[in-house]
Amino acid sequence: MSDQRPAPRVGLFVTCLVDVFRPTVGFAAVKLLEDAGCTVEVPSAQTCCGQPAFNSGDRKTAADLARNTIAAFEGFDYVVVPSGSCGGQIKHHYKELLADDPAWAARAHHLSARTYELVSFLADVLGVTNVEARYDGTVTYHDSCSGLRELGIKEQPRRLLNSVDGLTINELPGAEVCCGFGGTFCVKYPDISNHMVEAKIADITKTGADTLLAGDMGCLLNMAGKLKREGSPIRVRHVAEVLAGVTDEAPPIGDKT
C-alpha cells in the first residue's frame, strides 16, 4: 500500500463457524489484513449471513439477517470474509433477496460492491503478492465450491501459498469437485455426503501431502472430521492460518490441543 493513502478501513465478517469453531482463522485474517496496511474492526452487531435460512427456503429469515448484516457493515471501505460461501451469500444473494425492497436493495448493492473473500481481497484488491510466513510441509488445496464458482477464487490462494517459505504444493486431482458438506445437506443426506467425502479424502491421501488447506470452515470441518475418523495423520487447516504464519498458535483442525 502506498503511504500517502489512508489505511483502508475493513470490517471483518467473522462467519459463524470461525466464531464458534476456529477463532484462530479470524485472528489470522486480522493479522493478514493489518500486515497489508488495513485497519480492521469487527462489528459486534453481526451474527450469521443467513445462508442456512436462504438455502432452506426461508426467505423471510434470510432477508432479516441480510438487513442485519448490511446495517452492521455500513461505513466500512471494505467488508472481508474468511469464507467463499458466506462471502458469496453477501456479495451475490443479498441483492436477489432484497430486490423487491427498494431502500434495502440499494444498500445491498452497495455492500456487495465492497465485500470480498479474504484471500481474493488480499490478492485482487490489495495486490499482495507474497506473505511473511513459514510452513514446513507439503500441502494440497481443495477449492471450495462457492469461492471457486461464485467468486472466481482459484489462483489467488496458490499464488500466495507459493510465497510461504518451506511450503510445497501438491495439486489435488478433482480439487474442484464438492467435498460433500453442502450446509444442511450433510445431515439431511448423510449417506450421500459420506460417499462424497470418502472420495475426496481418498484423492487427498493420494497426493502424498501432509497438510490439507481450503478457504471455508464448512468444507474443512467435513474433511477433517472424515480424515480423523479414518485415523489419517493429515493435518487440516484454513489457508489463512498458513498465510498468516500462525500455525504454531493452534493445533490443526480436529487434532488434540
Partner 1 sequence: MHPTTHAFPENARKALSDERLQKVLSTAGTGFVEKRRKAAERLPEFEALRDQGRDLKNHVLANLDTYLEAFEAKVTEQGGHVHWCRTDQEARDAILGICRKANARTVTKGKSMIAEEIGINDYLEANGLIPIETDLGEYIIQLRHEPPSHIIAPAIHLSKEDVAETFRDAHTELPRDRLLDEPKVLIAEARQVLRRKFQEAEVGITGANLMIAETGSTIIVTNEGNGDLTQILPRIHVVIATIDKVVPTLEDATLVLRLLARSATGQEASAYTTVSTGPKRPGDVDGPEEFHVVLLDNGRSALLGTEFQDVLRCIRCGACMNHCPVYGSVGGHAYGWVYPGPIGSVMQPALLGVKEAGHLPNASTFCGRCEAVCPMRIPLPKMMRHWREKEFEQGLQPATMRRGLGVWGWFARRPALYHAATRMAVKALGALGRGKGRFARLPLAEGWTRHRDMPAPEGKTFQQQWAERKGKR
Of 168 and 232, which CB lies nearer to partner 1 in the complex structure?
A: 232
Alpha carbon distance 231, 175 (integer Å): 22
Q: How far is the CB of 201 from partner 1 (least distance, A)?
A: 9
* Residues numbered 207-246 forming contacts with partner 1, rule: CB under 8 A: 221-222, 224-226, 228-229
Angle CA 136–138–144, to nearest 5:
120
Of 137 and 183, which CB lies nearer to partner 1 in the complex structure?
A: 183
For partner 1, the binding residue among 1, 9, 56, 155 (CB under 8 A) is 56
End-to-end CA distance of the chain: 37
Dihedral in degrees, nearest 10, Cα atoms 234, 164, 216, 227: 0
188 binds partner 1 (CB under 8 A): yes
| DSSP states of 47-82 | ---SHHHHHTT-HHHHHHHHHHHHHHTTT-SEEEES
Binding-residue pattern over the window 131 to 170 for partner 1, x denoting contact by CB under 8 A: --------------xx--xx--------------------
178 binds partner 1 (CB under 8 A): yes
Q: How far is the CB of 24 from partner 1 (least distance, A)?
A: 6
Q: How far is the CB of 84 from partner 1 (least distance, A)?
A: 11
Q: Which three cell numbers stand for residue 93?
A: 444473494
Of 139 and 145, which CB lies nearer to partner 1 in the complex structure?
A: 145
| DSSP states of 127-175 | -------EEEEEEEE---HIIIIIH--SHHHHHHHTTSEEEEEPPPTTT
* Residues numbered 60-99 forming contacts with partner 1, rule: CB under 8 A: 61, 64-65, 68, 72
* Count of residues near partner 1 by CB under 8 A: 70
Beta bridge partners of 138: 168
112 binds partner 1 (CB under 8 A): no
Amino acid at position 243, single letter? L
Binding-residue pattern over the window 1 to 40 for partner 1, x denoting contact by CB under 8 A: -------------x-x-xxxxxxx-xx-------------
